[in-house]
Chains A and B, each alone.
Chain A
């Protein structure tokens, strides 16, 4: 015969044993077993409930309340334990998934533009911003455009410094991109304003060594309009150098001689490696590096291409792209550009 108190005690014992079992469950399966053991068809609580019918009418609701409380409490314990075990499971899973993050990432074949192209692109960008057009001309030129139209008649001593590859006595591989100047002027009606650069390959019959190559890249520039001065040349190239080398770059103009300009100048830029602080292999401690030749366009050059030096004036300049790239990237051997070693190309 089950009496009220015995039943109450049994419920209390069940509560305690359930709490112990739930707390001891080490995984979700075990916890489920505990749940079945208590709440299943043959479960302990289920068994207890069967005895309720033997209690008196007054005792039944009381015991029913105690049972419901116990059930709610145990269910809560199971739910809490369930959440705890799940979190732990996830943690274990993540722990088991740990990888060696120091292994290198999967590599991709990336392509690269040639450093000369990158350098030339930057030069073009700066001048296009300033309103220059990009002009082109043939690489195989006539003696007329390469020399004579630039005030370099046959037997001019300045031709000595530009040993040419000749195709015939009158046709040669251009030694400079300056012929594009004359071609552009002659294409225009006389005295049309011009702001142009002419980038391109040029050829000189030099020995192939760390600082000479039979083919290299040059950018020629030409500005013609009313009232273009030598000061405009200086300001323009100062701006260019600051854009290309950085705001701290300074330029220095030295008088020079080119048959196609008057006055003529060579332009040095402050050494981007040592900033003029000496003991530098690149500038030999002078703090300056020669990068440009320039000048006010010679009146004869204008005249030969149909322009009138009494009406317009202009300036012209030429800069070596290899030289700019070598300074920008610290490359000390010109041949690197033409060997096309992919370990070199991959760096740009």
Chain B
């Protein structure tokens, strides 16, 4: 909705600027999005008459003018224009003017002659016209008046962004009603009266039917004869232009004008083209041809409301008229329609057709069905005043179920209790009355144009917005409650903090994925990870993700492509698994953690190690995370994962629960994501981690007696895994065993190729006394025997 302030000023005295008016509207809930000042930059431009013009003494192309700008004294202006002569009236930019073309006017000297302004061309004022010289105004133009007024540019266009509830403000009258309350000024609405001079009865000429009363609650029509089609008068064209509507011809222009003025969309039919002289508001028949006025043939779906004559649908009601009955130069007799169509139906149809018009926008917000006949009268009156028609007697009006007035019960206390205010009975009644409500005791009768008010709560908003939301006090709710987060939320926050402390950056990525991503990840065809939830109307990727690995690899690849080589990322987010396919109920949402590292172990620096991270860095992050989460006594074994290197995949387990999977990304997967480097990732399930966290954390006191350590270096076959050796050591180490640390792994020239050397430090300690060396030696002997037996290990010298 947009409208010029001049149109509003026809009906109410507005004594503030357009900006102030817009602010008042906005702060009352009638949001003005934008103000277009048509005359911006013309504030210091006035009309002036050339009283005297002489050649500049020192220039062969400049003239010195003495200008009458209605100030009593003449002012001197030097111009280079060649088309000005004495007696011409022209726009004069005075000193201080800041023209639309960007020129700022200052007092100056041109070759020694003082110039106190500038004579303007059309181009300098950014108006239409011949720009080869100064813009010459008509000879009868008043002198000394603002040029904007003379040029018709003293107008401001208000562009409204109306909320869905205020259909009534989709009209000049609606805005005037609001402005009258906000400015506390009376509104002067025009007198609407028609002289029914055609000598015929409308009811004898046209029959109106409503076959779909659920989609059309009222259908009113007038018949106009002796129609003289032609252009509208200039004032009406100007009004429409201000409202952003193109002028077409007087009949169509008047229907548009009345739509903007009253908010009631109208349609004009060529009476002679209506077959059977009947108009019926009915549902379309599926497959029916609709020939609309854009000359396209549309196939009806069967639920649209159409206006049909005896033979065919003559248009999509409220959305687009029909081709055959359109007003043309041959039109002699016109049927004007003003109807109330179902908002939801119009909305569906206009979306389906992809056509949002001024009319459909108004129907979608709901029109005032009481006012259809007023709109017909107003349109007939305007056309009659233009001498463009004669008006038949009567309105053909089908209104099967007149809407009763809405009555709302309220008390002053209820309204104050809702708002937290202290308005008096009178203050409340005053506002409601000004807005057109009729108050009788505790009942407010809602004016027929306000379809958004049905409850006391709605009345409270009227009071609040008219007195101003700034007048509402600011208080805090009484009472109190204990604030808290859930256990899962706390746990998730904790994981994020730990991982950040371990050098990982948190990422957030979209929840969408695609089959191509599953392919890139090498997810097997029969995996449940491919059974993803499909989106009916996707933006790009059509599925909801079933894992976070795809996202984290995409983020790594993006970083790498931007030359960010050292990347450490993690994300905690839900993934989605359907309970059935096709989807019949909400999918399972499972919270997952994924992490990724690649690049240097230490940041690049003048004295830093430039080695790259490897599998054990990723594993170490998971181990440290688990230690801090009190996830204890888990096992780690080699395993398999669709996206990981088959020889570099570890599964962290606790009983049957898989706590985490860590590994090097399979080179083929990395390559599919465009990554040519080694990347290591881990993933875990948050619920499983919560479940496997030690129930309570108990501090372990520091030892009172010293520990004894023994180092064990053994040669074993290369296939023997360290984890198994540690298990055997722990089992054989006896009652004082306190822990084992693998401190060296060696393969190479100094030992045979099929062997590796493992070196452990084994710690013994007692809580009651200082151990004797012999006790440690005895335990060490047992350990040695056991590893020799189990792994055919040899003690290294």
Contacts and interface: CB of A to CB of B under 8 A. Distances in A.
Contacts of A215: 510-512
Contacts of B510: 213-215, 338
Which of A106, A109, A234 counts the most chain B CB atoms within 10 A?
Answer: A109
B461 A255 contact: yes
B457 A166 contact: no
Contacts of B499: 111
Interface in B353-379: 364-365
A113 B500 contact: yes
A157 interface: yes
A134 B489 contact: yes
Interface stretch (B22-30, B238-246, B701-709): B22-30
Contact of A111 (B418, B476, B500): B500
A265 B31 CA distance: 12
Contact of A139 (B166, B477, B583, B589): B589
Interface in A126-140: 127-134, 136, 138-140
Contact of B470 (A112, A225, A253, A298): A253
Interface of B: 26-29, 31, 163-166, 343-344, 347-348, 364-365, 417-421, 455, 457-458, 460-461, 464-465, 469-470, 472-486, 489, 493, 496-497, 499-512, 533-539, 544, 555, 558-559, 562, 564, 566-569, 573-574, 576, 582-587, 589, 602-608
A167 B568 contact: no
Contact of B583 (A167, A214, A228): A167
B646 to A, nearest CB: 29
17 contacts: A103-B607, A112-B505, A113-B506, A132-B483, A133-B483, A134-B489, A155-B344, A167-B536, A232-B476, A253-B469, A254-B27, A255-B464, A296-B457, A339-B558, A341-B558, A343-B562, A345-B507
Given A112-B500, A157-B364, A166-B536, A340 B602 contact: no
B544 A140 contact: yes
Nearest to B544: A140
A217 to B, nearest CB: 8
Interface stretch (A1-9, A48-56, A116-124): A116-124
A238 B574 CA distance: 33
Given A229-B418, A343-B564, A255 B29 contact: yes
A307 B391 CA distance: 57
Interface stretch (A18-26, A39-47, A256-264): A256-264
B485 A113 contact: no
Nearest to A203: B511
B417 A229 contact: yes
Contacts of B569: 340, 342
Given A113-B506, A340-B558, A257 B163 contact: yes
Contacts of A239: 476
B173 to A, nearest CB: 20
Contact of A234 (B474, B486, B506): B474
B508 A131 contact: no
Interface of A: 103-104, 106-114, 116-117, 121, 124, 127-134, 136, 138-142, 154-158, 160, 165-168, 171, 173, 193, 195, 201, 203, 205, 208, 213-215, 223, 225, 227-232, 234-236, 238-239, 252-257, 259, 262-265, 296, 298-299, 309, 313, 337-343, 345-346
Given A133-B484, A173-B535, A262-B457, A140 B163 contact: no
B589 A108 contact: no
B460 A263 contact: yes
B31 A254 contact: yes
B502 to A, nearest CB: 6
Q: Sorted from nearest, which 9 A-B pairs have the closest CB atoms?
A: A231-B420, A255-B29, A229-B420, A257-B163, A155-B344, A263-B461, A109-B503, A111-B500, A107-B603
A154 B576 CA distance: 26
Contact of A223 (B458, B477, B564, B606): B477
Nearest to A310: B414
Nearest to A145: B586
Contacts of A109: 503, 566, 568, 602-603
Contacts of B481: 131-133, 193, 195
B535 A167 contact: yes
B472 A253 contact: yes
A257 B165 CA distance: 7
A255 B465 contact: yes
Contact of B464 (A158, A201, A230): A230
Nearest to B534: A167
A134 B482 CA distance: 11
Nearest to A299: B457
Nearest to A156: B164
Contacts of A129: 483
Contacts of A254: 26-27, 29, 31, 469
Contacts of B460: 230, 262-263, 296
Nearest to A111: B500
A209 to B, nearest CB: 12
A157 B365 contact: yes
A33 B510 CA distance: 82
Contact of B421 (A171, A231, A341): A231
B348 A155 contact: yes
A166 B542 CA distance: 11
Contacts of A160: 347
B537 A205 contact: yes
B465 A230 contact: no
A138 to B, nearest CB: 6
Nearest to B589: A138
Contacts of B539: 165, 205, 208, 214
Contacts of B485: 124, 128, 133-134
A128 B536 contact: no
A252 B470 contact: yes
Given A104-B605, A229-B418, A234-B474, A255 B535 contact: no
Contact of B480 (A131, A133, A235): A131
Contact of B503 (A111, A114, A167, A298): A111
Nearest to A125: B483
Nearest to B164: A157
A274 B534 CA distance: 45
A203 to B, nearest CB: 8
Contacts of A124: 485
A112 B589 contact: no
Contacts of B505: 111-112, 114, 340, 342, 345-346
B483 A128 contact: yes
A171 B797 CA distance: 70
B551 to A, nearest CB: 9
A345 B499 CA distance: 14
A116 B505 CA distance: 12
A227 B583 CA distance: 43
A215 B115 CA distance: 61
B504 A257 contact: no
A42 to B, nearest CB: 53
A104 B482 CA distance: 48
